[in-house]
Amino acid sequence: MENHSAHSEHRDDEGSRLGMWVFLFTEMILFFGLFLVYAVFRAKHADDFHIAAQQFNVIIGAINTIILLISSATVAMSITAIQLNDRVKAIRLLWITIGLALIFLVNKYFEWGGKIDHMLYPGSDLVTSLKQGQILFFGLYYFMTGLHALHIVIGVTLLAYIASQVKKGKVNANDHVLLENGGLYWHLVDLIWIFLFPLLYLIT
Amino acid sequence: MQNTNYLYPKGLKGWLTSTDHKRIGVMYLIAIMVFFLVGGILGGIMKLELAQPGQQVMDAQTYNGLFTVHGIIMIFLVVIPGLSAVFGNFFLPIMIGAKDVVFPRLNLLSFYIYIVGACIAVLSQFAGSGPPDTGWTFYAPYSLESDTNVVMAVFAAFVLGFSSILTGLNFIVTIHRLRAPGMGWFKMPLFPWSLYATAWIQVLATPIIGITLLMIAAERFLNIGFFDPTLGGDPILFQHLFWIYSHPAVYIMILPAMGVITEIIPTFCQRKVFGYQAIVISSLAIAGVGYLVWGHHMFTSGMSDLSRWVFSLLTFIVAIPSAIKVFNWIATMYKGSIELRTPFLYTLSFIFQFMIGGITGLILGSLATDVHVHDTYFVVAHFHYIVFGGMGFAFFAAIHYWYPKMFGRMYNERRANWAWGVVFSGFTLLYFPMFILGLQGMPRRYFDYLPEYTFGHVLSSIGAAVLLTGLFMMVHTLLAGRNGKVAPANPWGGKTLEWTISSPPPLENFVEVPTITEGPYEYK
């Protein structure tokens, strides 16, 4: 029985990276479906989208964008650190990344909370009394940023797990493909936000 | 020596926790055959209801639930995973000379995700407010309004999508990284090639259905109105998103089937496959163009004339690579020394049914004729000819072809041939009358019909009984094969790598990793 679960050890970093890239394609296409919906409704209700987007605070959005960009840099630095065999620095940089992600989520929490206090959530009396395109815009806003926030949470969990593996020495200067893949995932989460930010906040 | 193959040691725990691709393939085989028989029996009950006009054994609402669960089981649990999960898992690594897939643990994980998804799908029938009645397509706005247990079924499809994506990802990386030394891309057998094309569709199309199903859930729980017109949404948009996945999904089903057929024909003709490169390129072309034809499901639901033209044209274009394959198969047989064994009988009926299904597909792809036959039994007949007559028969061909390799035993071929005869006649009798009924205007999804359609329906119901009998004969023959003659390593005289190792294959497939020097089908 034992020999069935423990195949002869086979390590293929190139394969793992390729697998991660293929997985990232699927994530991009997941969001692509939403961008498609956004594009269709924006084309149909350009004016409503314009009005609804003015409810959003560009400053908070911009701060969050900068936070995520920095966090992408820190995770990349962490990979360099492990390549240079500096485990302590790698772990520290990972925790900085996670901290930045949490700040992002806190900002998001206040932003959502503020909207909800102003009765701007799907199904509220205020929103249902708005014009069609505006209802759709708020729906898309919550759905897209909500799904993105879910990805942030998954990313944080993943990075925390990787940090523990670095600490145990399972991820080290010779074998760091797990950290690289975690970094790739984090860049993707960042990249998606780079699209969400202009679509929801900037194009008004 | 006897006990060194992958079937040993015995013991349930060893199977359920095994990351061996062969064991995972066999576990999928068992799960999928069980679901196939359940789905088939449900279909049989539908035909029982339709055997005479008026209400026979159930009311209309039950019938709605029945065709929905028949569709969900057959599409999401049987034909989408089908060939790639069972025979892809078992034979892809062997055929490319590898010891396993590249991520064996991920492979086991996708099996369990499949099982979880299947359990949720089954649960959706019993838990909550009654079995879903939307059809497997979950069309909005009805899927948003129906007070049956739609969300759970939708969630099951979402989970099953994950399993499909992970299997596809695993196969892509496996084919890139683990081909045996010397096996260049164009020395790879054609079943792995078809799995490669399929895997890309699985990876690139499935997320779209994932997000669409999430949107349905958000709409039902959170009042986010993407598709419901009263909340500002657009139901046609749902159809677009749904078919952006679900049309390519048809190619997820049929491409591996074509791959299996392409393996079987050279073996039983002892002849090199005709036009190897044309088959490879047509697989890739089907995968690519198949992405762009989804609109032909919606010719009558409101689209601009221009887009209908474009989708119709693309639909005709995607028929070309499929036809190329048929020509290749027939040209391979030409002047071959053909041996009519059981797998080859299934293969021949595959080609016959696939051509009927394909050409009737073009009738549906033409704008003018589609308006006439849309949403009639013609469509039902067409896709059962493709999905069952195509993918289903290819599955049967594959199981009869590889059975001796997988289990090291031979089934009783005479009985298997009889089963084939009954299955084939039952299939024809069940589905061919549906073409006529459809042309006469019989609408699909109705639990009752006008008296003038009685004759066709009666024929079809008799066909269903014959088909089910045949299927049970087939399964019985296969199960009885456990005690059959011991199979040699190469019972059919095949040339691909799986025939070079013992039957059943040893634990890590190859004692020595083979080095490839020539193409896969070098028959004398």
- What pLDDT, in 10s, does the model give residues B68-96? 999 999 999 999 999 999 999 999 999 99
Closest CA to A122 of B77, B298, B306, B226: B226
B233 CB near a chain A CB, below 8 Å? yes
Domain locations in chain B?
21-500
Indicate if the pLDDT at residue A45 is higher than 80. yes
CA distance B232 to B225: 6
Angle between helices B342-365 and B235-269 (to 10 degrees): 150
Residues shown for chain A? 204
The interface predicted TM-score of the complex, written ipTM, equals 0.90
Evaluate whether B473 touches B422 at the Cβ level (below 8 Å): yes
C-alpha separations of B270 from A151, B42, B335, B487 in Å: 53, 40, 10, 20
Q: How many CB atoms lie within 10 A of CB B9?
A: 11
Q: What pLDDT, on the 0 to 100 scale, is given for residue A118?
A: 86
Q: What pLDDT, on the 0 to 100 scale, is given for residue B3?
A: 62
Which residue in chain A is spatially nearest to B164 when comparing CA positions? Answer: A26
Indicate if the pLDDT at residue A87 is higher than 60. yes
Domain locations in chain A?
47-202
Indicate if the pLDDT at residue A89 is higher than 70. yes
Q: How many CB atoms lie within 10 A of CB A15?
A: 18
Best of B21, B169, B214, B243 to disrupt the A interface by mutation (most A CBs within 10 Å)? B169
Q: What pLDDT, on the 0 to 100 scale, is given for residue B231?
A: 77
Closest CA to B460 of B390, B355, B468: B468
Contact list, A29 vs chain B (CB under 8 Å)? 204-205, 207-208
CA distance B85 to A51: 49
A52 CB near a chain B CB, below 8 Å? no
Q: What pLDDT, on the 0 to 100 scale, is given for residue B524?
A: 72
Q: What pLDDT, on the 0 to 100 scale, is given for residue A142?
A: 92
B19 CB near a chain A CB, below 8 Å? yes
Query: Among partner residues B210, B234, B508, which is closest to A30 by beta-carbon distance?
Result: B210
Number of Cα atoms under 13 Å in the Cβ half of residue B124? 28
Contact list, A18 vs chain B (CB under 8 Å)? 172-173, 176-177
Q: What pLDDT, on the 0 to 100 scale, is given for residue A7?
A: 44
Q: How many CB atoms lie within 10 A of CB B434?
A: 25
Best of B224, B245, B509 to disrupt the A interface by mutation (most A CBs within 10 Å)? B224
Which residue in chain A is spatially nearest to B168 when comparing CA positions? Answer: A22
Task: Encode pLDDT of B210-257 as tens digits.
Answer: 999 999 988 888 888 889 888 778 999 999 999 999 999 999 999 999
Q: How many helices (H) and strands (E) does chain B have?
A: 18, 0
pLDDT < 50 positions in chain B: 1
Mean pLDDT of chain A, nearest integer: 90
User: Own/partner pairs for B369-374, CB < 8 Å, 24+ apart?
Assistant: B370/B296, B370/B299, B370/B300, B371/B299, B371/B300, B373/B438, B373/B439, B374/B299, B374/B300
User: What CATH code is assigned to B21-500?
Assistant: 1.20.210.10
Q: Do A33 and B211 touch (CB under 8 A)?
A: yes
Evaluate whether B433 touches B359 at the Cβ level (below 8 Å): no
Backbone angles phi, psi at B486, to 5 degrees: -70, 135
Which residue in chain A is spatially nearest to B174 when comparing CA positions? Answer: A15
Please give the radius of gyration of chain A, using alpha carbons only, rounded to the nearest integer.
20
Evaluate whether B489 touches B509 at the Cβ level (below 8 Å): no
Closest CA to A52 of A113, A117, A142: A142
CA distance B344 to B269: 9
Indicate if the pLDDT at residue A4 is higher than 60. no
C-alpha separations of B48 from B63, B71, B276, B459, B467 in Å: 11, 17, 45, 12, 13
3-state secondary structure of B376: strand
Indicate if the pLDDT at residue A8 is higher than 50. no
3-state secondary structure of B486: strand
User: What CATH code is assigned to A47-202?
Assistant: 1.20.120.80
Q: What pLDDT, on the 0 to 100 scale, is given for residue A2?
A: 36
CA distance B138 to B132: 9
Q: Any residues with CB less than 8 A from the CB of B385 and at least 6 apart, and which?
A: B353, B354, B356, B357, B360, B431
Task: Encode pLDDT of B12-33 as tens digits.
Answer: 999 999 999 999 999 999 999 9
CA distance B132 to B64: 8
- Give me A42's structure tokens: 């924006």
Q: What pLDDT, on the 0 to 100 scale, is given for residue A5?
A: 39
Which residue in chain A is spatially nearest to B212 when comparing CA positions? Answer: A33
- Give me B452's structure tokens: 């003038």
Q: What pLDDT, on the 0 to 100 scale, is given for residue A10?
A: 67
- Give me A184's structure tokens: 């790739």
C-alpha separations of B507 from A9, B16, B276 in Å: 15, 16, 31
Q: How many CB atoms lie within 10 A of CB A1?
A: 13
Indicate if the pLDDT at residue A3 is higher than 80. no
Closest CA to B377 of B441, B296, B425: B441
- Give me B369's structure tokens: 């004729």
CA distance B135 to B66: 9
Which residue in chain B is spatially nearest to A42 when comparing CA positions? Answer: B233
Q: What pLDDT, on the 0 to 100 scale, is given for residue A9?
A: 54
CB pairs under 8 A between A and B: 118
Handedness of CA A100, A101, A105, A107 (dihedral sign): positive
Q: Do B211 and A14 touch (CB under 8 A)?
A: no
CA distance A130 to A11: 57
B12 CB near a chain A CB, below 8 Å? no
Number of Cα atoms under 13 Å in the Cβ half of residue B249? 27
Closest-CA distance of chain B to residue A115, Å: 15
- Give me A41's structure tokens: 């409704």
CA distance A114 to A36: 28
